[in-house]
C-alpha cells in the first residue's frame, strides 16, 4: 500500500472492532436468558442475583379488553429484553409511595411481573410472590422497597416474584345498574383476577427460573395483604399457592354492591366523561381516561374514592369471607398473619404529609385537627354508628384502656384495633377452627420509626425488614433499620416459605393456638420473644365488633 499511515489506521480500526465485537459477544453470552411460554427473556445480573423485569403475564387489558377479566398470554418464540421494569398501573399521586410519581411511566398495559433468582435450576426453589399495597389505588411492583434483590442475596434458596395489577376504577369498579355494565361482570374484582393470572403464569413458567411451582408463598401488605386473604377464599385458586403471609390487611378489605354504591364511582366516571353507557367509556383514550381520573375541577374526584374487591354472589369472593374460612376455604394453606402496633398513624403522613418541622417532634395541633376532620372522626363515627348500645359500651371500655392519652390518640388506637389487628385475629381463629392441615402463625411488630416520634410503629414500617432492604430512601417508612432485626424478620419469612414454619436462627416460633394465642413479638428495642395473648383486653372488646369496620 502506498500510504503506510492509512494502512496503520485500517489495522487499528480492525483490531478495535474485533475487541468490541468480542466484548459484546461475551456480554450477550453472560446475559441470563430463560425461555418461557410467551417468549425468551434476557435479564441482567447483579451481586450474583439474576433479575428479569417487565415480563407480560397476560394480554394488555386495553381497547375491548378494558374492564374485562385478564386474558392469558399467547405462545411466542421471540426474544425480549427483560432488563427494565414495565409500565405501572394508572394511579393518583401519593406522598407516601416510594416510587417517583411519573405519568409517563403509567399505562393500561401494565400487567407485567419481575423475577429475582440465582438462576440455579438443578434444585427447585420455593417461590415467594409479592403483592404490593396502596389501598387498591396506589403502588407498583417497581418500587425499590419491594425489590427481591436483597432477599435473594441474603437467601439464595428462594425465587422472588412481584407483579403489577390494575388499580382504582380500572381494577375495581361496580358497573351493576349502569347501561352496558352487564358485559363487564368482573369489573369489581379485575385487579384480583390479574393476581390470579400472574400465579397461573408462575405455574407454567417458573421452573425455568429455578422455582418450584408446587411450593409457592403469596405475601403482601395492606391492600396486598387484603388480596392475599381474598385469594384464600376465592374460587379458582386451588393449587396456585401453598403458603400465605398477610401483613396488615385482611378480609375486611372487601366491598359489596352497597359499599360501591356509597361511593358511586361508576356514575361519577360516566358524568365526568359525558358518557351514557360503558361502551362510551371504551372509546376514551388512555390519556383521556387518566385526565378524567385525576380531574377535580367540579369538586369531585375519582381519585379521592376508595376501591376494593367486590364480594358476594357476583364475585369469586363469598358474601361472608370469614364464614368461608370457618367452613374450610384455605384450610390446608399455611397462614402467617400479623399487624404493627400503630397502624392508623401512617395515614396522617399519607394524607397530610406533615411538615419537616414536625419531624422528630410532637405532632402539631393544626395537623391533628386537619386529620381528624379529613379522615379520623368520620371513620370512628361510621364504626360506632353501626354498633348497638351494648357494643358502644365495649368501645368506651376500650378507650378507657388508653385513658392516659388524649382523645385523638385513643381514636387512632381504636381504628388500629378495629381495622387491622382484630380482623387478623378473627381470620386466624377461623383458620384454626376449620381443622385443615395448614398451620397458623401470628406476629406483632412494634419497632417504632425514630424519624418521627409521633408516628410509632405505623402501617408499612416492617417492609424494609421483610425485604432486607437498607436503602436510604426507605427510612421514611420505618426510620433507620436495625440490621440484626432485619436478619431475623427476613429469615423468618423465608423459613416460612421453605419449611412452612417461621422459626429461624434458633428463635422458635410456635403455631398460634386458641388456648395460648402464641404471638411473635418484634419489639421496639430490636429483640424478639413469644408472648401469649398480647393486648388481650383490646382483643376481647373489639374482635366481636370488627364486622362493623370497612365493608363488612
Annotate 112-144 with DSSP letters as a single string. EEEEEE----SS-EEEEEEE--STTTS--TT-G
CB distance 118 to 49 below 8 Å = yes
Element containing residue 460 per DSSP (H, E): none
Catalytic residue (one of 51, 96, 222, 495):
222
The 79-81 sheet, strands edge to edge: 33-36, 39-42, 79-81
Q: Which three cell numbers stand for residue 524?
A: 421496639
Question: Rounded to an integer, what distance in angstroms lies between the CA atom of residue 51 and that of residue 113?
Answer: 11
User: Which residues in 327-358 are b (16+ Cβ under 10 Å) and which e?
Assistant: eebbbebbbbbbbbbbbbbbbbbbbbebeeeb
Spatial distance between the Cα atoms of 384 and 407, rounded to a whole number of angstroms: 15
Query: String of b and e for 513-524 (b: at least 16 CB within 10 Å)?
Result: eeeebbbbbbbe
What does the longest C-alpha to C-alpha distance in the chain come to?
107
Please calculate the CA angle 235-241-245 and round it to the nearest 5 degrees: 100
User: Which residues touch 384 (CB under 8 Å, ≥6 apart)?
Assistant: 392, 395
Closest alpha carbon to 115 in 208, 28, 29, 225: 208
Per annotation, catalytic residue among 343, 358, 417, 462: 343
Q: Cα 404 to the chain's mean position, in Å?
A: 35
Q: Is 483 a catalytic residue?
A: no
Annotated catalytic residue 243: no
Query: Which listed residue (132, 459, 468, 548) is catalytic?
Result: 459
Residue 93 cell numbers, joined = 399521586
Parallel, antiparallel, or unpaired: how do β-strands 125-131 and 112-117 relate? unpaired
Would residue 132 show up in a list of annotated catalytic residues for this protein? no
CA pair distance 425, 432, nearest whole angstrom: 11
Q: Determine the Cα–Cα distance for residues 549 and 552; give it in Å rounded to an integer.
A: 6
Cα angle 252, 219, 59 (rounded to 5 degrees) comes to 95
Pairwise CA distance, residues 208 & 121, whole Å: 7
Nearest to 462 by CA among 501, 502, 441, 493: 493
Alpha helices in 274-327, H assignment, sequence order: 278-282, 286-294, 321-326
Residue 66's nearest CA partner among 177, 180, 225, 202 is 180
Kindly give the pairing relationship between strand 49-56 and strand 440-445: unpaired
- H-helix or E-strand containing 309? none
Tell me the catalytic residues. Answer: 222, 343, 459
Amino acid at each position: 500500500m502506498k500510504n503506510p499511515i492509512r494502512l496503520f489506521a485500517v489495522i487499528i480500526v480492525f483490531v478495535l472492532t474485533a475487541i468490541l465485537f468480542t466484548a459484546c459477544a461475551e456480554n450477550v453470552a453472560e446475559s441470563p436468558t430463560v425461555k418461557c411460554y410467551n417468549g425468551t427473556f434476557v435479564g441482567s445480573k447483579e451481586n450474583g442475583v439474576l433479575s428479569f423485569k417487565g415480563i407480560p403475564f397476560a394480554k394488555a387489558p386495553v381497547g375491548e379488553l378494558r374492564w374485562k377479566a385478564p386474558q392469558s398470554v399467547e405462545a411466542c418464540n421471540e426474544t425480549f429484553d427483560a432488563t427494565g421494569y414495565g409500565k405501572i398501573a394508572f394511579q393518583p399521586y401519593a406522598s407516601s409511595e416510594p416510587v417517583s410519581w411519573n405519568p409517563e411511566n403509567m399505562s393500561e398495559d401494565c400487567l407485567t411481573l419481575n423475577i429475582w433468582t440465582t438462576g440455579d435450576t438443578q434444585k427447585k426453589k420455593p417461590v415467594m410472590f409479592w403483592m404490593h399495597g396502596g389501598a387498591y389505588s396506589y403502588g407498583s411492583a417497581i418500587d425499590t422497597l419491594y425489590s427481591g434483590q436483597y432477599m435473594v442475596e441474603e437467601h439464595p434458596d428462594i425465587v422472588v416474584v412481584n407483579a403489577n395489577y390494575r388499580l382504582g376504577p380500572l381494577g375495581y369498579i361496580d358497573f351493576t345498574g349502569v347501561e352496558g355494565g352487564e358485559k363487564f361482570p368482573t369489573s369489581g374484582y379485575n385487579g384480583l383476577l390479574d393476581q390470579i393470572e400472574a400465579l397461573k403464569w408462575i405455574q407454567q413458567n417458573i421452573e425455568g427460573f429455578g422455582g418450584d411451582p408446587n411450593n409457592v408463598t403469596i405475601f403482601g401488605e395492606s391492600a396486598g395483604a387484603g388480596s392475599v386473604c381474598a385469594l384464600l377464599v376465592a374460587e379458582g385458586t386451588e393449587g396456585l399457592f401453598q403458603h400465605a403471609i398477610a401483613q396488615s390487611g385482611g378480609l375486611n378489605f372487601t366491598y359489596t354492591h352497597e359499599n360501591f354504591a356509597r361511593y358511586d364511582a361508576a356514575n361519577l366516571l360516566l358524568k365526568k366523561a359525558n358518557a351514557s353507557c360503558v361502551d362510551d367509556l371504551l372509546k376514551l383514550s388512555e390519556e383521556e381516561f387518566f385526565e378524567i381520573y385525576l380531574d377535580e375541577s367540579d369538586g369531585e374526584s375519582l381519585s379521592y374514592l376508595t376501591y376494593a374487591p367486590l364480594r358476594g354472589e357476583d364475585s369469586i369472593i363469598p358474601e361472608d369471607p370469614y364464614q368461608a374460612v370457618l367452613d374450610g376455604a384455605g384450610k390446608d394453606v399455611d397462614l402467617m398473619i400479623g399487624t404493627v402496633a400503630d397502624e392508623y398513624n401512617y395515614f396522617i403522613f399519607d394524607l397530610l404529609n406533615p411538615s419537616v418541622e414536625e419531624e422528630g417532634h410532637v405532632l402539631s395541633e393544626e395537623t391533628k385537627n386537619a386529620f381528624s376532620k379529613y379522615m379520623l372522626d368520620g371513620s370512628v363515627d361510621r364504626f360506632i354508628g353501626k354498633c348497638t348500645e351494648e357494643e358502644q359500651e365495649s368501645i368506651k371500655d376500650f378507650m378507657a384502656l388508653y385513658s392516659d392519652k388524649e382523645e385523638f390518640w385513643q381514636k387512632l388506637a381504636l381504628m388500629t384495633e378495629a381495622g387491622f389487628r382484630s380482623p387478623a385475629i378473627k381470620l386466624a381463629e377461623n383458620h384454626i377452627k376449620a381443622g385443615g392441615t395448614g398451620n397458623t402463625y401470628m406476629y406483632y411488630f412494634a419497632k417504632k420509626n425514630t424519624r418521627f416520634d409521633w408516628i410509632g410503629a405505623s402501617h408499612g414500617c416492617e417492609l424494609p425488614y421483610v425485604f432486607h432492604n437498607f436503602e436510604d430512601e426507605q427510612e421514611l417508612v420505618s426510620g433507620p433499620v436495625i440490621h440484626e432485626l432485619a436478619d431475623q424478620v427476613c429469615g423468618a419469612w423465608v423459613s416460612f416459605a421453605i419449611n412452612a414454619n417461621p422459626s429461624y436462627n434458633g428463635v422458635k416460633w410456635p403455631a398460634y393456638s386458641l388456648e395460648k394465642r402464641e404471638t411473635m413479638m418484634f419489639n421496639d428495642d430490636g429483640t424478639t420473644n413469644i408472648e401469649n395473648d398480647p393486648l388481650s383486653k383490646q382483643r376481647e372488646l373489639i374482635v366481636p365488633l370488627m364486622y362493623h369496620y370497612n365493608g363488612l
